[in-house]
Structure 1
Amino acid sequence: MNIKTCQRLITISLLSILLAACSSTLKPTQMPEKHPVTTPQTINLYADNIPGEIKKSNQETVRDASAEHTFIMDINQPQLTIFKAAPHLANGTAVIILPGGGYKGVSIVKEGYDIAKRFNSIGITAFVLKYRMPNTNTMLDKTTGPLQDAQQAIYWVRSNAKLWGIHPDKVGIMGFSAGGHLASTAATHFDNAVMSQYQSENLKPDFQILIYPVISMKDEVTHKGSRKNLLAPELTPDNIAYFSNEDQVTRATPKAFIVHAIDDKAVPVENALLYTQALTQHKVQTQLLLLPEGGHGFGMDNPFDWFESLATWLKNNQLR
């Protein structure tokens, strides 16, 4: 079945049903009650040298220092910022958050820190990953550099589960936009460790949360800026296929919660639809929430509170 036929079938079978469902059940955005939160702690993702790096000084810059939402570019020294849930709320679940930014940078506040605080309000400890941007000047293999960081974060969180009061079998991954591509890559390529020392380690997220994600690298549906930054100039058929995550799903892929707005002009909603179809074909438990509006990059700022639906999904899956 070619991709255009697939899109038509998905649109007919899912769009009308799910859009009708979400428009009738979603509630306007409501701010959660305030709860005490612990002070965030930032650590380097790697204790020593970064495997596969081309050693450089810190390359990162802030795109517009006066902007409301901080956007950090050209990251080559990855870090984790830990938002530990307050003890009286903590339920043992953890989520690693990958902000988006087209594989050029990360919207670290709107799609990172703000989301982490919302997770804290429902007892979930959050780890915001400032992952490296694919760059031939700072890494030996730019196509796998970001995935290396995501796998390192999963390994580190599980290895330190006791320290942070979390269950090692309740570690999920979440991504926005290009961060959603990286999160879905971690969720579909977990049995292929980028670093050889982790070949026998459990790198599989226990669940995945994808918000307006880039999924495919194929011409018809990809976000071309993300594809260029991750893969160019090696836009080979093999690379495009390997990183088109709708084609990498198996029955072992972790359960998923996905949100996308149908009026997204930057990352077509077909990304979410194709991934949902692949997951359902492989009998992976999936919830797709199609929002009638919001465009791209809305973070928590949407007329409907998608996080409330996510919180319900987490509860239904014994994750909160």
Structure 2
Amino acid sequence: MDLHRRTLLAGALAAAPAAAAVADPAEVIPLWPRGAPGGGGAGLRQAMIERAKPGQPADRAVTGVTRPTLTVFRPERPNGHACLIAPGGAYIRVVVDKEGFEFARFLAARGITAYVLLYRLPADGWAGGREAPLQDIQRALRLVRASTPTPGSVAALGFSAGGHLTAQLATRSAEASYPPLDVVDRLPAAPDVAGLIYPVISMRPEIAHMGSRRQLLGDAPAEADVRAYSMETRVRAETPPTFLVHAADDTSVPIENSLAMHQALRTSKVPTEAHFFEEGGHGFGLRGAAGKPASATPELFHAWWMRQVGREP
């Protein structure tokens, strides 16, 4: 198959609203050309919601995802590295601008080919159920890896609920979430490094983001499911090096999520770096951290990643 094919996005991302200062890339790769594994999602209608006020930067979110895709940001001078980005949205929506496209442009400006993932949501009636987002991100990572020249590295970067999904990718890469489709599915599903930005990590009720937990596990999940989807319990020695960022004043996803993940990584002797900021709140992305110490997050992640792969930025 041609992994570099260019297609126009026929779905909700086809046209940027007037508030968007920069045009969206035209290169969009469908994850499942013949439909998602097992089917499902009957009656879903993919929709774009613009949440910004007139004159503000675009702040779009997609609901009812029926066409999971990768939107590709190619740098003018590629350095051989690639990053898969999973935006957040509480497993209810996918926030494409401030936690997706903006970070992708930052990375592309530094020579990195960035891929923003639009993934299916766990409560939308897919046959894969709560595993549907994992199916999408595992397939996406393999597609990115197939397009990345050796010896370039592949990072996965996730925000909020997208951080939970990225943590699943990092800790469950050996688990087959869907039947192989083609030669791409022979590739490893593990990233070389993972970045988790104000991530949902645990499903334990005392620290969970209850909205994400409800979408993923339902209103009264079994204790075994709570543990299985608490990513701090899934860390093993083979988990890739992991970068963490969280703000102490995050009232949506408590900082204890990242603290628990950081401790699990240290216990398993997985290389990790964590930055815990006093202020920043939740969902700050790039724009929301302006003027605050958390604004250093993109540069900190980039520098850490390049150190992990032995190449200074």
Tell me the TM-score range normalised by the shorter chain. Answer: 0.7 to 0.9
5+ residue gaps in structure 2?
1-22
1:311 aligns with 2:306: no
Q: CA deviation at 1:160?
A: 2.6
Secondary structure in 2 aligned to 1:159? helix
Q: 1:197: which partner in 2? A: 180
Alpha-carbon shift at residue 136 of structure 1 (Å) = 4.7
Residues 72 and 107, structure 1, Cα contact 8 Å, conserved in 2: yes
Aligned with 1:267 (options 253, 260, 277): 253
Q: Deviations over 1:116-168 (max 9, x none)?
A: 0000111111000000111353x11311000000000011112233xxxx437
CA contact (8 A) 1:186 1:204 kept: yes
Report the residue type matching 1:222 in the other structure. Answer: A
| Contact residue 93 and residue 167 of structure 1 kept, 8 A | no
**What TM-score do the two structures reach when normalised by structure 1?**
0.81
Map Cα deviations across residues 222-278 of structure 1 (whole Å, 9 max, x no partner).
Answer: 100001011115611121111100010000000011110010000000000000000
In 1, Cα distance between equivalents of 2:118 and 2:73: 14
Alpha-carbon distance in structure 2 between the residues aligned to 1:143 and 1:49: 17
Assess, with a 3 A threshold, how the Cα gap between structure 1 residues 308 and 249 changes in structure 2: closer, same or farther: same
Looking at structure 2, the residues matched to 169 and 202 of structure 1 have their Cα atoms a distance apart, in angstroms, of 14
The 3-state SS of whatever aligns with 2:253 is coil
Mapped contact 2:193–2:305 kept (Cα < 8 A): no
Question: TM-score of the superposition, structure 2-length normalised?
Answer: 0.83
Q: Distance in 2 between matches of 1:65 and 1:306?
A: 24
Give distance in 1, aligned partners of 2:40 and 2:113. 32
Tell whether the 8 Å contact from 1:247 to 1:278 is kept in structure 2 after alignment: yes
Q: Structure 2: how far apart are the matches of 1:196 and 1:256?
A: 28
- CA separation of 1:39/1:226 partners in 2, compared to 1, >3 Å: closer, same or farther? closer
User: Quick check: 2:94–2:118 contact (8 Å CA) kept in 1?
Assistant: yes
Aligned to 1:135: 123
Matches within 5 A, 1:1-320: 39-54=25-40, 56=42, 59-64=45-50, 67=53, 68-87=58-77, 90-137=78-125, 139-161=126-148, 166-167=149-150, 170-197=153-180, 201-233=187-219, 235-300=221-286, 301-302=288-289, 303-304=292-293, 305-317=296-308, 318=310, 320=313
**Residues 273-293 of structure 1: CA deviation (Å, up to 9, x unaligned):** 000000011110000011111
Identity, % of aligned pairs? 36
Instruction: Give the distance between the partners of 1:157 and 1:192, measured in 2 at CA.
Output: 18
1:15-60 residue CA offsets vs partner (Å, 9 max, x unmatched): xxxxxxxxxxxxxxxxxxxxxx995511211121211221546612
C-alpha distance in 2 between matches for 1:160 and 1:315 = 19
Whether the aligned pair in 1 keeps the contact of 2:44 and 2:124 (CA below 8 Å) is: no
With over 3 angstroms needed to count, the CA separation of the structure-2 counterparts of 1:250 and 1:278, relative to structure 1, is same
Residue by residue over 1:158-208, the C-alpha shift from the partner in whole angstroms, topping out at 9 and shown as x without a partner, is 2233xxxx4376111110000000000110011101013288541111110
Query: Distance in 2 between the 1:65 and 1:272 partners?
Result: 28
Partners in 1 of 2:150 and 2:256 — Cα distance?
Answer: 34
Amino acid at match of 1:126: A
Query: Are 1:76 and 1:133, in contact at CA under 8 Å, matched by a contact in 2?
Result: no
Aligned partners of 2:94 and 2:128: how far apart in 1?
A: 20
Number of aligned residues: 277
Cα drift, residue 95 of structure 1: 0.7
Tell me by how many angstroms 1:79 deviates.
0.8
How far apart in 1 are the matches of 2:179 and 2:39?
A: 15
Query: Hey, what's the Cα distance between the residues in 1 that align with 2:301 and 2:52?
Result: 32
CA contact (8 A) 2:41 2:66 kept: no
Partners of 1:176 and 1:211 within 8 A in 2: yes
Q: Tell me the SS of whatever aligns to 1:174.
A: strand
Q: CA deviation at 1:314?
A: 2.1
Q: Is the 8 A contact 1:58 1:77 kept in 2?
A: no
